[in-house]
Structure 1
Amino acid sequence: MRAQTQLLSLPNLDALISSSLIGKSTSDTSHGVTVMPFVPTIRSGGFADIGPRRFMEDEHIMIDDLAMHMGSLFRCPNPSAFYGVFDGHGGPEAAAYVRKNVMRIFFNDAGFPESCDLDELFLRGVKKCISRAFLLADLALADECTISSSSGTTALTAFVLGRLLLVANAGDCRAVLCRKGEAIEMSEDHRPTTASEKRRVEEMGGYVEDGYLNGILSVSRALGDWDMKLPNGTASTLIAEPEVRQIILTEDDEFLIIGCDGIWDVMSSQQAVRVVRRGLRRHGDPQQSAKELVREALNLNTFDNLTVVVVCFSSTPDLQQGQRFKCSLSSEALTTLQNMLDANHDH
């Protein structure tokens, strides 16, 4: 059974903010103690592989320090970070275009809020901006004469704003949060066979045949693919509108995996979490863990391009498991063991 995402509804944001769940200290009046809440320390790594395909159509972006990247033009909570994976189809052009222009589209064209206060108004503005950015990217692909109308891309983006994680998805890329070893899915795969997507498609007059939207496309949401969409402003069965999910990060949240469907075609979210967690506990390197996850998918005979980004929320890996092993023998047990070894050596 898939773990359910612990979603934060907007009407509850003020209560969460006032109770210091977003980066502010609180006072325990009964003891006069100031409690500092968990603040993530961001580090990430990514890896991409062409896999068994003839052409690479995946793209990705990783920005661990959004404030430094954007400079004085952008005021945002601390920490702030931005990530994205884009899985192209019908050629690499659409994914490459979105990757190249994603910062302009999100932070200029879509009107990202200038306020850095994590209040309800700011968060509503961010969510509207994210949805608008996906739609603007879709329209830009229609207007770009160098991109074929049959070229498209799925898109998944992840923002970290203080302790808030926002994930937006259109297509079958996936984001998975590891909370104390448990996989929490932060996105839904938009495939034509998914019950809610199939119902939406059929209500719009489309159909699903052999798992494909209108017998053609294996996803029900994507940017581009204008040969399958109706003219601008007209509702289509294939849409670019993302689903946005959000969660407040806690000290139990270890890392986030975002990856294209080449990973999820051959392993579950929990399997991916186990692979990455095992690697991080061994070497602490998110880039190496991303590479190990790609290698595992290849070993499982995936048939697609592979792209993975691993985002850690602490500065050091959890090595407690190894430390417990190293300290599990008492001094008496060590002495007994040494005596046994000495006795064997004498014989």
Structure 2
Amino acid sequence: MAAGISPTVGVLDGECRAGTSTSKSISNGSTLSVDDAGVVASPDQEEVVSNPGSSTPSLVDEKITEALVEEFLPFIRSGGWADIGLRNHMEDAHVRIDDLVKHLGELVIGESTGSFYGVFDGHLGKDAAQFVRENLLKFIVEDTAFPAALEEAVKRAFLRTDRAFAQACQIDSELASGTTALTVLIFGRTLLVANVGDCRAVLCRRGRAVPMSRDHKPSCVEEKSRIESLGGFVDDGYLNGQLSVARALGDWHLEGLKADDDDGGSSSGPLSGEPEMRQAELTEDDEFLIIGCDGLWDAFSSQDAVTFARRRLQQHNDPEKCSKDLIVEALKRDTSDNLTVVTVCFRRDPPPSLRIIKPPVRTISNEGLRNLQELLNSL
């Protein structure tokens, strides 16, 4: 049965559509890709109302907009839900912390407001997912670069967690397993998503889906090229004929996938534990974020999930109910995997109704029609 997620612990459709950079910044003016629903997830398509008679916003408009962006601070609230689906065992894990200062203490992260979320989709057992859930945040905050250089701290923490689990498996071989991992750190207006595998994070910006992660599938051109350069191969969409993801933490027991070089960096094998990161500066246009394991995305496109969740939040404004609603709908659509969803809202109020600006309708009078007909008859 479905179970609620305790409050104490709260994209890109198509895995081959991202650029080559492993760290991307997405601002409100970014150019983004078309998702598999055929909807352009781009703020460029939003309607802009300028001064009457002016083709561009005035200097005053721009200054006001800049001031609003600078003053905006998200009001963080979240909720999550999980379900075993049609599987015999639940291998997902999650973490949901709305207030890092309360959780870790001001001495650890300073006076900045912060939040942390994570979804971990285990395979070949649940131990890797549980280990990452319990240790990844600790390694992030212990890193010397935290919180001044978040991307650097998060990257090293992922790799450190991967190697720590390898050591744990050497002590207890029954722990041998693997997991995908997607984490979200929010500091003030800065949103940082780190991803290894095929969990996905999607930002809702005024009703449009903005991808905040990329699915790491072995068949993706970039991943396949990396895999083959490290001596691996892709067979029918599976890495070395074994895994359906190109990046994961754990899986040290699978022959030929990871090799420990003892240099503290990423494994030199074809299965990578290095996260791909994307960052965004939140504005008033950003309404909520959906984080989900691949079982959700088997049933929803990114835009479909955003549209569905937005309607539910407009009805009840409850992120936990919204997460449950997404899972219940995914089960109706015959997804069979474990399901875990976390919804993070950035405002107190529900998403507003969007005003659709329609072009003016031009009409012609009866007299004009008669004149037109006379003109045509005279030709």
* Category of TM-score, reference length = shorter chain: 0.7 to 0.9
- Decide whether aligned partners of structure 1 residues 147 and 95 sit closer, same or farther in structure 2, where only a CA change above 3 A counts: farther
| 1:49 to partner: Cα distance | 0.4
The one-letter code sitting in structure 1 at the alignment partner of 2:310 is: R
Match of 2:194 among 168, 175, 193: 168
Match of 2:78 in 1: 44
Deviations 1:114-133 (A, max 9, x none): 5xxxxxxx2xx211100001
Deviations 1:225-271 (A, max 9, x none): 00231234451100100001001111000000111000111211011
Question: What TM-score results when the alignment is normalised by the length of structure 2?
Answer: 0.72
> Equivalents in 2 of 1:276, 1:76: separation in Å?
33
Aligned pairs for 1:303-314 (under 5 A) are 303-314=336-347
- Decide whether aligned partners of structure 1 residues 242 and 321 sit closer, same or farther in structure 2, where only a CA change above 3 A counts: closer
1:231 aligns with 2:248: no
1:205 aligns with 2:231: yes
| 1:199 to partner: Cα distance | 1.1
- Decide whether aligned partners of structure 1 residues 44 and 29 sit closer, same or farther in structure 2, where only a CA change above 3 A counts: closer
1:129 aligns with 2:153: yes
The one-letter code sitting in structure 2 at the alignment partner of 1:164 is: T
**Contact 2:197–2:217 (CA under 8 A) maintained in structure 1:** yes
**Contact 2:127–2:176 (CA under 8 A) maintained in structure 1:** no
User: What secondary structure does 2:242 align onto?
Assistant: coil
Match of 2:241 among 215, 227, 230: 215
| 1:28 to partner: Cα distance | 9.8
1:264 aligns with 2:281: no
**Contact 1:149–1:225 (CA under 8 A) maintained in structure 2:** no
The one-letter code sitting in structure 2 at the alignment partner of 1:152 is: G
The one-letter code sitting in structure 2 at the alignment partner of 1:83 is: Y
- Decide whether aligned partners of structure 1 residues 271 and 155 sit closer, same or farther in structure 2, where only a CA change above 3 A counts: same
Match of 1:105 in 2: 139
Match of 2:25 in 1: 8
The one-letter code sitting in structure 1 at the alignment partner of 2:258 is: K
The one-letter code sitting in structure 1 at the alignment partner of 2:195 is: N
> Equivalents in 2 of 1:8, 1:292: separation in Å?
30
- Decide whether aligned partners of structure 1 residues 321 and 72 sit closer, same or farther in structure 2, where only a CA change above 3 A counts: closer
1:58 aligns with 2:97: no
1:296 aligns with 2:329: yes
| 1:176 to partner: Cα distance | 0.3
Question: What TM-score results when the alignment is normalised by the length of structure 1?
Answer: 0.79
> Equivalents in 2 of 1:184, 1:34: separation in Å?
24
| 1:34 to partner: Cα distance | 6.9
Match of 2:55 in 1: none
Match of 2:163 among 139, 143, 148: 139
**Contact 2:290–2:342 (CA under 8 A) maintained in structure 1:** yes
Deviations 1:23-75 (A, max 9, x none): xxxx99999x9755211000000000000000000000011111111113223
> Equivalents in 2 of 1:138, 1:30: separation in Å?
46
> Equivalents in 2 of 1:134, 1:153: separation in Å?
12
Percent identity for Structure 1 against Structure 2: 50
Match of 1:275 in 2: 308
Match of 1:252 among 276, 282, 285: 285
> Equivalents in 2 of 1:101, 1:65: separation in Å?
18
Match of 2:106 among 49, 72, 77: 72
User: What secondary structure does 1:8 align onto?
Assistant: strand
User: What secondary structure does 1:96 align onto?
Assistant: helix
**Contact 2:81–2:324 (CA under 8 A) maintained in structure 1:** yes
| 1:103 to partner: Cα distance | 2.7
**Contact 1:40–1:79 (CA under 8 A) maintained in structure 2:** no
| 1:107 to partner: Cα distance | 1.3
User: What secondary structure does 2:180 align onto?
Assistant: strand
**Which runs of no fewer than 5 residues in structure 1 stay unpaired?**
11-26, 115-121, 323-347
| 1:106 to partner: Cα distance | 1.7
- Decide whether aligned partners of structure 1 residues 76 and 178 sit closer, same or farther in structure 2, where only a CA change above 3 A counts: farther
User: What secondary structure does 1:74 align onto?
Assistant: helix
Equivalenced residue count is 295
Deviations 1:271-304 (A, max 9, x none): 1111110110000000000000011111111121
| 1:76 to partner: Cα distance | 4.0
**Which runs of no fewer than 5 residues in structure 2 stay unpaired?**
1-10, 28-59, 356-379
